[in-house]
Structures are given as structure tokens and as C-alpha cells.
């Protein structure tokens, strides 16, 4: 089983959806996700949510982390055998690059 790196590659904050679907006071106080571009987390064994990663985002990407850890294959992505996945927070989605890490 390989270690897997999860890297934040994109962040969103949909002010239009927030304004339309949240109560006004809550919308004013709502902030972007705390992850920053380039944040990186390495997962080894056991496969578990790394410290500092949003548990909701972890829930959304965990299955792909497991696939990468066991060297699952996917075509046409760069780097090879990587996955691009995002959390399901429609107001402030975060996109992650999930890739196996070579042992050093």
C-alpha cells in the first residue's frame, strides 16, 4: 500500500448561491473554507482523515484515497494514476488532487 498525497488545487465561494439560499445574517457571516491553495496532506496506514483536513471533505474523497493507496489505475489524468475530486459543499467547494506518493 502506498502513501497518498491530497493537495488543494482550487477553492470556490459562491456568493450568489449563499445570498439566495441562506438567511441574510448567516450569509453575511459565512466565510470561505479554511483550506488554502497548496495545502497538502499525506495519508499512510491506517487510512484515516489526516490532521487539519476538513472531515466533511475527507468523507467525500476517502474512497479515492483508498484506490490510490492500493495503486488503482485511471487513464488520461496527469499525473498518472491521480484523481481530481472535490468536496460536496456547494457554497464553498474545494478541489483536491489525490495521488500516490513514491516511498522514499
Cα 51 to Cα 24, 27, 28, 36, 103: the distances in Å are 33, 28, 29, 15, 21
Tell me, what's the pLDDT at 81? 82
17/67 Cα distance (integer angstroms): 33
The domains of the chain are located at 3-101
DSSP SS3 for 99: strand
For the stretch 14-56, pLDDT in tens is 999 999 999 999 999 999 999 999 999 999 988 999 999 999 9
Strand partners, 6: 41, 98
Top pLDDT among 46 and 9 is at 9
Amino acid at each position: 500500500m502506498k502513501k497518498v498525497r491530497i493537495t488543494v488545487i482550487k477553492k470556490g465561494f459562491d456568493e450568489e448561491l449563499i445570498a439566495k439560499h441562506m438567511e441574510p445574517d448567516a450569509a453575511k457571516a459565512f466565510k470561505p473554507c479554511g483550506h488554502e491553495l497548496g495545502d497538502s496532506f499525506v495519508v499512510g496506514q491506517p487510512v484515516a482523515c489526516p490532521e487539519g483536513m476538513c472531515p466533511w471533505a475527507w468523507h467525500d474523497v476517502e474512497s479515492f484515497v483508498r484506490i490510490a493507496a492500493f495503486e488503482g489505475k485511471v487513464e488520461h489524468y496527469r499525473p498518472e494514476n491521480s484523481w481530481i475530486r472535490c468536496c460536496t459543499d456547494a457554497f464553498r467547494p474545494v478541489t483536491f488532487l489525490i495521488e500516490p506518493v513514491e516511498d522514499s
